[in-house]
């Protein structure tokens, strides 16, 4: 959730949603609940559309994990975008379901994991 400046409300107005760009396709888990609004979104340039990108909700159903598959010749590859809160519940969901995913080409993250080293 982000707040946008308001001329009528000194505490600003809450804004829920993700920006859209004409040259980019947006992939985000659909969730109407404000409390569990997805924190992971993936943008892919429309010039790459011949690779047939699709959001895979069947592999892991989690509002903060985006799994995108695409075809490169005969191969199916995956791009995973993850956001995990301080309780690391998203990371646990990913670890518990990683066997459902094939060849991972790219994985991006914001795990919020503090490393003492």
The answer to whether position 49 is within a domain reads: yes
The answer to whether position 64 is within a domain reads: yes
How many domains is the chain partitioned into structurally? 1
* Domain encompassing residue 8: 2-110
71 and 102 Cβ atoms separated by less than 8 Å: no
The answer to whether position 117 is within a domain reads: no
pLDDT of residue 8: 65
Angle, CA 38 vertex, CA 41 and CA 84 arms, to 5° = 90
pLDDT tens digits, residue range 24-55?
998 888 766 666 677 788 889 999 988 889 99
pLDDT tens digits, residue range 81-99?
888 777 778 888 888 887 7
pLDDT of residue 101: 74
49 SS3 class? helix
C-alpha distances in angstroms, 73 versus 50, 51, 76, 117? 11, 8, 8, 42
Query: What average pLDDT is seen over the chain?
Result: 76
The answer to whether position 20 is within a domain reads: yes
* Nearest partner of 103 among 75, 64, 74, judged by Cα: 75
């Amino acid at each position: 959730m982000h707040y946008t400046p308001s001329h009528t409300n000194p505490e600003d107005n809450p804004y829920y949603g993700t920006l859209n760009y004409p040259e980019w396709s947006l992939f985000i888990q659909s969730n109407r609940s404000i409390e569990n609004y997805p924190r992971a979104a993936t943008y892919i340039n429309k010039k790459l559309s011949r690779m047939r990108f699709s959001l895979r909700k069947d592999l892991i159903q989690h509002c903060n994990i985006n799994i995108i598959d695409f075809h490169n010749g005969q191969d199916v590859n995956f791009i995973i975008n993850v956001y995990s809160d301080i309780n690391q519940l998203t990371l646990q969901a990913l670890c518990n379901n990683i066997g459902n995913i094939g060849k991972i080409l790219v994985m991006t993250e914001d795990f919020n994991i503090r490393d003492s080293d």
